[in-house]
Structure 1
């Protein structure tokens, strides 16, 4: 269980996240929605401890995440894997090495520096790439991939961290509709097949309603909605998105909901 209690983050006079409180059960797929600047990205960065809270606590399985430092903090960041909008791959490195970067918390730093990765970790990385039909690109440089392919590599990197939670920060913001569906299906796959909790920032209500079990709506740093997608009425959505409501509610291509999660080959379990 992940518990967020009174979480607040201030940057000078600006309050990016304001007294956020919620809990998430293991294995949930939760969408965080709201207009640009609502505090969605800061919330995920706080949970991963890439940003420091001004007040409040984050507790996971009884452990106070906000009190962690040193090696324990690095381990937490591995357990709460981040997926970023801009992929955060190292362009000059090949795909396999980029995925292996997800093992840094478990491998001595000298091994990563001289590229002497344990064979078990290489097998783990190849298995993760295979989950998302990217194994054939293992030797290719990351900057030679399309945006959708790069995001699938980033998801494979997160998976080899063997996380309890995946925090996806606008993972499809720069992708076309086809690659959007591929990436969202990949996130759904790790949620349903591996039972990994997914907390995903999404601007699109269509996607949020199609993929998520629960929605958390943010406005001006505060949580103003928390419930099932079916409970999010048009009026609540308009209040949530304010000036962006017409764009979000009326201008988007409606994607069909995901069907079933396809069978997977191999495993990346420990």
Structure 2
């Protein structure tokens, strides 16, 4: 589905991502792991074209993503939704409107600016909020919510884009253990129920092992491990994380429980 071919990004003399090549299959849940500064965030931002590659290509189903511009680039970002560490919600707007922003590429900017959302769009947004148990918060300002609630709103916004791929950049970095589990369970349900490919940057190795079906380890901008979670031994992890290995091998991450089936609703 997604092919990353020799992708690099330089910032002056610094190489943030160095000749990365990966193939990601449809419906996979891939965890990108590694210490801070390994190039994980830069890689995801290049896939979404928020950061321009210095060299290399990104292909999706044979289409050269790195060559897209204008409306074609907007279409790509709609089909490749991004979830950020700091949520990127508009705090002064209510939750429902924040989720409806994910429909921008479906309804057009003029209609969205005038808040001319159709009944169908509102139903889709409310359905997404219901799936994450936060429909009751639809009328509240986003800035009034807890961090875990805000991240669930961000995931709902990504879901209503009707994407093929979700890129999650350290989505649980600022959350407590309970909300960490809630958010990771939400991403897992989206992956399993809708077959949406998820590529997720994670610092916690225990979380990555629990939720992902494939792990890609990065160090100094390069891929140094690519395989199943069971193949990533503690010894390999210590080589990957160095002195940070004690932080990621804490053994306290909760194991996910089986996720209940979600109603297909408007996303079938």
TM-score normalised per structure 2: 0.98
Contact 1:131-1:266 at 8 Å conserved across structures: no
Aligned to 1:116: 116
Instruction: Write the distance in 1 (CA, Å) between the matches of 2:27 and 2:246.
Output: 33
More off after superposition, 104-113 vs 189-198:
104-113
Contact 1:215-1:228 at 8 Å conserved across structures: yes
Aligned to 1:172: 172
Aligned to 1:82: 82
Say whether residues 1:255 and 2:254 are aligned partners. Answer: yes
Displacement of 1:255 in angstroms is 1.6
CA RMSD of aligned residues (A): 1.0
Displacement of 1:268 in angstroms is 3.1
The one-character-per-residue Cα deviations of 1:107-164 (angstroms, maximum 9, x if unpaired) are 2211111111122111111111111111111111101111000000000000000000
Displacement of 1:243 in angstroms is 1.8
Aligned to 1:56: 56
Contact 1:127-1:266 at 8 Å conserved across structures: no
Instruction: Write the distance in 1 (CA, Å) between the matches of 2:150 and 2:253.
Output: 24
Displacement of 1:266 in angstroms is 4.9
Point out where structure 2 has 5 or more consecutive residues left out of the alignment.
none
Contact 1:78-1:105 at 8 Å conserved across structures: yes
Say whether residues 1:6 and 2:6 are aligned partners. Answer: yes
Displacement of 1:259 in angstroms is 2.5
Instruction: Write the distance in 2 (CA, Å) between the matches of 1:132 and 1:224.
Output: 35
Aligned to 1:195: 195
Q: Secondary structure at the match of 1:111?
A: helix
Instruction: Write the distance in 2 (CA, Å) between the matches of 1:266 and 1:229.
Output: 30
Point out where structure 1 has 5 or more consecutive residues left out of the alignment.
none
The one-character-per-residue Cα deviations of 1:165-222 (angstroms, maximum 9, x if unpaired) are 0000000000000000000000000000000000000000010000000000000000
More off after superposition, 259-268 vs 43-52:
259-268
Q: Secondary structure at the match of 1:106?
A: helix
Aligned to 1:267: 265
Instruction: Write the distance in 1 (CA, Å) between the matches of 2:17 and 2:116.
Output: 41
Aligned to 1:33: 33
Aligned to 2:101: 101
Instruction: Write the distance in 2 (CA, Å) between the matches of 1:131 and 1:268.
Output: 12
Number of equivalences: 268
The one-character-per-residue Cα deviations of 1:19-73 (angstroms, maximum 9, x if unpaired) are 0001011000000000000000000000000000011000001100000000000
Contact 1:103-1:161 at 8 Å conserved across structures: yes
